[in-house]
């Protein structure tokens, strides 16, 4: 079974530019997560989707960050415009079941390392 795929793996941009990250979850997984991991910190949840609906985006900086999960499969996270403090690794994870069904193990992709200059 293929794991969670993310691209690109690395991205370097200048501040005020825009950038997009792509995630393809494990086939059949209903729930998808985006995390931001700043150097020296643990991952922080940005947004959680169940199928193509947003469950929680309370920690997403909505003035510059946006995310979508069209058709309930793959997802895109966008930053526009980027700031220096957005330099981080962006991790995508997916889990199989629906949230109401209880705990579902999250499987993580390798991440996209973003450097904003």
> Least Å distance between CB 16 and other proteins?
28
Residues 31-50 that bind other proteins (CB under 8 A): 31, 40-45, 48
Q: Are the CB atoms for 3 and 105 separated by under 8 Å?
A: no
For residue 52, state whether it binds other proteins (rule: CB under 8 A).
no
Pairing state between β 112-116 and 10-13: parallel
> Least Å distance between CB 19 and other proteins?
19
Which of 4/14 has CB closer to other proteins?
4
For residue 53, state whether it binds other proteins (rule: CB under 8 A).
no
Cα 25 → chain centroid? 10
| Site size with other proteins, rule: CB under 8 A | 26
CA-based nearest residue to 22, from 86, 89, 94, 76: 76
């Amino acid at each position: 079974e293929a794991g969670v795929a993310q691209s690109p793996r690395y991205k370097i941009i200048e501040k005020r530019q825009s950038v997009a990250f792509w995630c393809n979850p494990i086939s059949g997984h209903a729930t998808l997560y985006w995390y931001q991991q700043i150097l020296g910190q643990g991952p922080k949840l940005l947004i959680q989707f169940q199928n193509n609906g947003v469950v929680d985006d309370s920690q997403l900086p909505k003035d510059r960050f946006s995310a979508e999960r069209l058709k309930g499969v793959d997802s895109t996270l966008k930053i526009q415009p980027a700031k220096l403090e957005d330099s981080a690794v962006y991790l995508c994870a997916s889990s199989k079941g629906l949230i109401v069904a209880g705990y579902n193990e999250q499987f993580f992709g390798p991440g996209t390392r973003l450097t904003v200059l």
